[in-house]
Structures are given as structure tokens and as C-alpha cells.
Amino acid sequence: MPGLHKSSGLGQFLFGFHDETTARHPQLFIDQNIDRHECRRVVSMKILDLGMGRTGTASMKATLTQVGHPTYHGFDMHANPRDCEMWQEAVDAKYFGETSVTLDRASWDKLLGHVSAVTDTSFDMFGPELIAAYPEAKVSSFEHALIKGTDSPFLWNVIQYLDYKAALMSPVVWRGMMNGQFRANDFRESRMNAKTVYREHYAEIREALKDQPGRILEYRLDDGWKPLCDFVE
């Protein structure tokens, strides 16, 4: 990819993570080979962090883990590639009319039964479904303020992962995020739709919880970590 350095974040995503990166974030690089189709829930689901991906979700995972919640982050599907099969099944059920899989608690318990918290992509694709499946779970949501124009730095962080070459690595990204969530067929269309999808996502979360205001924490960077820690403990 022209202009892409192998030491950059996206470069490492495409060409392999450096030893320094894996040493700094060991919780994101646990090697596994688990077929979760036959798994079941072993810990209670407590926290659904449903902010869009690339909004500090690695820090969120570290925080949730530190306060005692084993947490599933988007990177975990790369650590255990067989998870991608189940994510693709969920994508097909939500966006493409596949009826053999139901997005109910029983299905999510198979994929997520080993964790009590979730954050990052691909959870932002399934906010209402997860809220309905786990009515006892609290919901946190971090929302960046959008700026005018199509080159918002945050949005660029999101849609850089929708580049065609990067998307070839994962049908979940290409079919799920690009075709499904962003309603796009290519990188140009994803940029055109990004702000609309972003706003719709947070509006959808608020609508799902409009009658349960005590269940959601909406926060911003300048709030610090204390409100979040008080909320999840």
C-alpha cells in the first residue's frame, strides 16, 4: 500500500505486530484455537461498551480488566480466528437476511460466555441486539464530537480499516462493516456515509435505552476515568 509504513498502527495490522507492541498489550494477543459454537456462559455479562471502534477501546479493555471484568476486544477475534466464523454468521443474520442464526442471548452466550464485558468492533454493529440479550448489563458509550467536513480525524481512524486491501483480511470487516454497517461498496462510499452511520449508531443506543436512563453512562475524554470506574464497579 503506497505511503504505508510497516511501523504504523495500520501497517502493523496488515504486516504483523511488533514484539514491542505485543509485549505492551499482552491481553490483546492471546493465542487460541477455540470453536465457541459449543461453548456456554461461565461468567455473567456486566458491561456493554458500545462506543464506535477506534474511540479508545484498547484503554477501555485495560480499564475493565483492571477492575475485574474479563473483556472481549475486537482484537480478540484475530487472536482466536475461529471467532470470525461466528461473527460472520451474526453479520449475515443482521444485514443479509440469513435465518439459520438468531441474535438472541443463547447465541451470544456461546461466543461471549467467557467474558463479562465487551468493547470495540464488532460490538458497535450489534448494539440493540446486545442490549436486548443482556437486560441486566450496564451500557457505556464514548462519543467523539464530530467536526465539519469529511476529513474528521476520528472518522478517518474508523474508515482507514475499511480500505479494500485491509478489508480482504477479514470478511467481518468487509461484509460486516463496509457492506452492512456503513452501507458501502467501496472506500469512497464508506467515507460519504461515515458521519451518518456514526450519528445513527449513538441515536440507536439512546433509543434502545430511553426508558432505562440509569443503565447507560455517556462520557467524554475530559470526564476522566472516575465516572466510568464508579459506574462499572
Segment 115-167, tens digit of pLDDT: 999 999 889 999 999 999 999 999 998 876 554 444 554 554 555 555 554 44
Distance in angstroms (rounded) separating the CA atoms of residues 225 and 233: 12
Distance in angstroms (rounded) separating the CA atoms of residues 61 and 120: 9
pLDDT of residue 3: 44
Percent of the chain with pLDDT over 70: 79
CA distances from 228 to 10, 181, 232 (A): 28, 27, 6
Residue with more model confidence, 200 or 57:
200
Name the range with the highest mean pLDDT among 89-93, 156-160, 173-177. Answer: 89-93
pLDDT of residue 54: 75
Q: pLDDT-based confidence at 4, cuts 50/70/90? A: very low
Phi, psi of 125 (to 5 degrees): -85, -15
User: What's the pLDDT tens digit per position in 8-63?
Assistant: 555 555 556 677 877 877 766 666 788 999 999 999 999 999 988 877 788 889 98
Across the range 55-80, mean pLDDT stands at: 87
Q: pLDDT-based confidence at 210, cuts 50/70/90? A: very high
**Residue 75 in contact with residue 29, Cβ under 8 Å?**
yes
Phi, psi of 127 (to 5 degrees): -55, -60
Q: What is the pTM of this model?
A: 0.78
Instruction: Look at 4-8, 30-34, 76-80, 168-172 and tell me which has the smallest mean pLDDT.
Output: 4-8
pLDDT of residue 82: 85
C-alpha cell at 155: 472518522
User: Quick one: angle between helices 83-95 and 105-112, nearest 10?
Assistant: 150
Domain locations in the chain? 35-145+201-232
Across the range 100-113, mean pLDDT stands at: 96
**Residue 221: pLDDT over 70:** no
Interior CA angle at 221 toward 210 and 28, to 5°?
95
Across the range 191-205, mean pLDDT stands at: 92
Assign domain 35-145+201-232 to a CATH class. Answer: alpha beta
